[in-house]
Amino acid sequence: VTSRGVALTMSLLVALCASVAANSASTPTVAEIVAASGKEEWRALDPARTLYLQLPAGRVTIELVPEFAPLHAANILKLVADHYFDGLAVIRVQDNFVAQWGDTDDNKPRPLGGAREKLPAEYVTGYDPAAPFTRLPDLDGYAPQTGFFNSIPAARDPGSRAQWLAHCYGALGVARGNDPESGNGSSLYVVIGQAPRQLDRNIAVVGHVWQGMELLASLPRGSGALGFHENVAQHVPIASLRRAADVPEAERTPLEVLRSESRSFARLLDARRNRRDDWMKFSPGFVDVCNVPIPVRRRDPV
């Protein structure tokens, strides 16, 4: 956290950058790592598994990750294809926890159409030990292994060959009741605070928000229990939830993500773990899987 004078004054910033560049022992900044990266180190989001959540303040871009919860991802895509979410709302914003959207009327719930009411509990999935996983060497209290699957924070238990997406900031999860099979994707939440890793292996995490987190995280908090809004006037309307592939190409947000298996991602992890520069006085030598700012950017027109 820099003081405002340092951060805002461009001449000072330039001087700082020069000073960092001159110091060969300095770790690069995220911006420097991105600037030095090759085009092949990025992957474009696949429109077939990318969702656009349209809030009054703008678009939230979400990637589904069917590899971790295939039936949930398929059910969500079915609901999205049916325009199930259009006209529903963000019904819950609990500070330092989640923003959640879904049906707004308990008494007269919207029909799920062709989507399923119940789904098997896809809280973890099996994996092939040879499958791609950018593992962190750093210890973690919530899981035997942590790392990244296609640049998304994830965790593994080699003993049971289970893997799951970690509840980090931006994780998309499927709300459920006590019945482990009661989650069906008609109510979804995004983590907007400190990673609630205690939910890992308890709920299906099925995606990751790549753009527009600030639109969810800055919503007014609900005043009811668990952050639910107490009256309909507080609901934040969802204009639409669409698959990118179903949106005209000119209206898409073409994002690309730095690949977790790339050399630049390894540089990023090292810089987070062992940051050395003129500001940093003590380097932790450690990074938490939820504490890596994953580079995402608008793709250049082809």
Looking at residues 20 to 59 of the shown chain, list those that interact with its own copies (rule: CB under 8 A): none
Q: What minimum distance in Å lies between the beta carbon of 47 and its own copies?
A: 25
Burial of 270 (0-12, 13-18, 19+ CB in 10 A): middle
Which one, of 273, 271, 260, 292, lies nearest residue 170 by Cα? 292
Q: What is the DSSP letter of 246?
A: G
Among 5, 38, 111, 126, binds its own copies (CB under 8 A): 5
Contacts of 19 (CB under 8 A, 6+ apart): 278
159 sits near its own copies (criterion: CB under 8 A): no
Q: Which is nearer to its own copies, 41 or 84 (CB)?
A: 84
Q: Phi/psi of residue 6, each to 5°?
A: -65, -45
Contacts of 214 (CB under 8 A, 6+ apart): none
Looking at residues 166 to 225 of the shown chain, list those that interact with its own copies (rule: CB under 8 A): 168-169, 173, 175-178, 180, 182-183, 187, 189, 193-203, 213-214, 217-221, 224-225
Looking at residues 242 to 301 of the shown chain, list those that interact with its own copies (rule: CB under 8 A): 272, 275, 278-282, 284, 286-288, 290-291
Q: What minimum distance in Å lies between the beta carbon of 301 and its own copies?
A: 23
Q: Which is nearer to its own copies, 41 or 236 (CB)?
A: 236
Q: Which is nearer to its own copies, 123 or 127 (CB)?
A: 123
Q: Which is nearer to its own copies, 176 or 242 (CB)?
A: 176
Q: Which is nearer to its own copies, 51 or 166 (CB)?
A: 166
4 sits near its own copies (criterion: CB under 8 A): yes
- Span of 9-17, 73-81, 248-256, 260-268 interacting with its own copies by CB under 8 A: 9-17
Q: Which is nearer to its own copies, 96 or 132 (CB)?
A: 96
Q: What minimum distance in Å lies between the beta carbon of 126 and its own copies?
A: 16
Q: What minimum distance in Å lies between the beta carbon of 209 and its own copies?
A: 11
Q: What minimum distance in Å lies between the beta carbon of 95 and its own copies?
A: 4
141 sits near its own copies (criterion: CB under 8 A): yes
Among 14, 83, 95, 132, binds its own copies (CB under 8 A): 95
Other CB atoms within a 10 A radius of the CB of residue 113 amount to 11
274, 27 Cβ separation under 8 angstroms? yes
Residues facing 148 on adjacent strands = 134, 153
* Tokens, residue 106: 């308990």
200, 164 Cβ separation under 8 angstroms? yes
Q: What minimum distance in Å lies between the beta carbon of 280 and its own copies?
A: 6
- Span of 22-30, 99-107, 125-133, 245-253 interacting with its own copies by CB under 8 A: 99-107
E strands, 183-262, are 188-191, 205-211, 236-237, 240-243, 255-258
d(CA 149, CA 291): 15
Among 32, 103, 261, 270, binds its own copies (CB under 8 A): 103
299, 255 Cβ separation under 8 angstroms? yes
**Residue 4 carries which side chain, given as an amino acid letter?**
R
The size of the interface with its own copies (CB under 8 A), counted in residues, is 74
Q: What minimum distance in Å lies between the beta carbon of 302 and its own copies?
A: 28
Q: Cα–Cα distances in Å, from 234 out to 172, 228, 239?
A: 22, 10, 15
